Structure 1
C-alpha cells in the first residue's frame, strides 16, 4: 500500500514535512555536511505518472524551501528513480533557483536482459543511450545530476554486475556527475526476517572491521575527483 500510495503520502504529509524542516532547522544549520533533502526515494506504483510528479514534487519543494531556504532540494525520477526523460519537454516551475538537484539510480540488475543477451560493446551502447536519454541529458541542460545509488556484488562473482561496473565507471568519468554508492554496510542485524544478513554490495566486510574489497575501493577512487570545471 505504501508503494502504490507514494504520491498520496507526499500530498498529505506537507505539514509534517514543513514541521520537520522547521523544527530541525537550527540543528541542520549547525551541521555543514547536511546540504539537502530528497523528497522521495524510488517512486513507483499505480499513482506514478508525470502529472502527479510535477504536482507533488513542486509542492514538496516549495514546502521545504519555505521552511529552510538554505538547503538543496533533490528530485528523484519515476520508475524506481530511473526516468526523468519527461523533463526534456517540460520544465519544473519553482519560486527559487540555483538549489535544485536531480537524482537517479542504476544497477546491473536494472538492465539484466541487456547485459545477458548482448556482447559487452553492444550492451554498453544500449545502456549508455538509455541512461543519457532518461537522466544524463539533464547535464546538457545545465542541471546538477546526482546518481545517488549504484553498486555491485563486491565478491565479483556476478558477471552482469562486473560488466555494468566497467561501463558505469567509464560513463561517470565522462559525464562527471556526482554519485553515492550502495552501500557502506557490511551486514544487517536483521533484514527480510534474516538475522545477521551479509550485504555483499557493502564496502565494509561482514563485521565492519575493514574494507570488503580493497581493489574495488581503488577502482571507484578514479571517479572521486572532478574531471570538468564547475
Structure 2
C-alpha cells in the first residue's frame, strides 16, 4: 500500500487511484436508500501490509467516502486477513466525521471476523464458486453460502444459527414484562430444562423463559433457579437459591460468559458439553480476561440472556 520508499512501491496497486475509485462509488450511490455501507478493502494481507500505511490510507479513504456520501457507513478491515486490529487499543483511528459518529472512541465501523479454528460458520458470500479465479476454471468458494453446484447450502445446519434472529422477540405494543431467553450463539440454539430438571441445548422454537434479578436466574416464573452442582456436572434448576453456586454474573468483557463460584472459590461458567444429549455443564471459565495469550476457544461457554416480551 505504501509509496514511501522504492522497496515499498507496488506497481499493481496505486493507493490514490483506489481512493478515487471509492470516491466515485460513493458519489454514484449517494441517495440510494438500499446502499447503507461501503467497505474500503477486504482482508488486507501480504508482505507489504503495515500499521503506518493502514492508518494513513484507511483514514484518507474513509474521509473521501464520507465527503461524497455522509449517510453511508464506512466498513474497515484489519490487517492479516482482517484478524488483526489490536493496535487500535493504543492508537484509535481518529477520523473527524462530524456529528454522524456516535462514539468518539471508534470513528468507523470495524469489520472483524475472528473465526478461530472452526471455519464452517464463517460464510461471507452467496456464491458457491467462481467461473474464473486466478486463471483457474472453475474455482470452489469454501466460504460461500451455496455448494459448488449452486443448488444447496454448503453447510445445511448453518441457517440454524440465525433462528433466534428470525423470531419476534420484542413487541413495542406488548404490555408483558421482559423475560429472558438463554441463548447459545455458537449453535444458534437456546437453553431448555429437560424432564430431569437439567439444562440442555435445544431449538429456540420451544425455548424456556427466565427472569434475572442480578444474581439468580429464575426459571419460568417459578421460585426455582439455575444451580451448579460443581465442575463437570450438569447445571440444573433447584429450590436451593440461597447458595453461592446459584448466583450468576457475566464474567467477561464480551458479557457472553455466565459464571458462578463453587465452594472452593473457583469460577465456573456454563458450557455446552458437546455430548449426545447437548447437556450444559459447569466448567472452568475460558479466556474471560482480556488476555492476548489465551489461545483457547471460549465459544462453547458463550451464553446470553436475550430480553423478550412476546
**TM-score, scaled to structure 1:** 0.55
Name the SS of the counterpart of 1:206 in structure 2. Answer: coil
Per-residue CA deviations over 1:122-168 (Å, capped at 9, x if unaligned) read xxxxxxxxxxxxxxxxxxxxxxxxxxxxx42xxxxxxxxxxxx5xxx
Per-residue CA deviations over 1:16-60 (Å, capped at 9, x if unaligned) read 3323321x134xx3342x211111112223432222211111111
Which of 23, 30, 33 pairs up with 2:32? 30
Q: Which structure 2 segments of 5+ residues have no match?
A: 3-7, 170-303
Whether contact under 8 Å (2:74, 2:109) holds in the other structure is: yes
Residue 21 of structure 1 corresponds to 26
Residue 58 of structure 1 corresponds to 59
- Check 1:72–1:193 CA distance in 2 against 1; reply closer, same or farther (3 A cut): same
CA distance in 2, matches of 1:195, 1:52: 34
Whether contact under 8 Å (2:140, 2:148) holds in the other structure is: yes
Q: CA RMSD in A?
A: 3.5
CA distance in 1, matches of 2:134, 2:126: 18
Which of 96, 116, 133 pairs up with 1:191? 133
Name the SS of the counterpart of 2:14 in structure 1. Answer: helix
Per-residue CA deviations over 1:87-106 (Å, capped at 9, x if unaligned) read 11112222222372001234
- Check 1:18–1:206 CA distance in 2 against 1; reply closer, same or farther (3 A cut): closer
Per-residue CA deviations over 1:66-121 (Å, capped at 9, x if unaligned) read 0100100111111121111111111222222237200123445xx5xxx9xxxxxx
Residue 100 of structure 1 corresponds to 108
Whether contact under 8 Å (2:22, 2:40) holds in the other structure is: no
Aligned pairs for 1:69-218 (under 5 A) are 69-96=70-97, 97-98=101-102, 100-107=108-115, 151-152=119-120, 181-218=123-160
Name the SS of the counterpart of 1:52 in structure 2. Answer: helix
CA distance in 2, matches of 1:9, 1:208: 35
Structure richer in strand, relative to its length? 2
- Check 1:68–1:89 CA distance in 2 against 1; reply closer, same or farther (3 A cut): same
Structure number, greater radius of gyration? 2
- Check 1:103–1:92 CA distance in 2 against 1; reply closer, same or farther (3 A cut): same
CA distance in 1, matches of 2:156, 2:16: 44
Count of aligned positions:
158
Structure richer in helix, relative to its length? 1
Name the SS of the counterpart of 2:130 in structure 1. Answer: strand
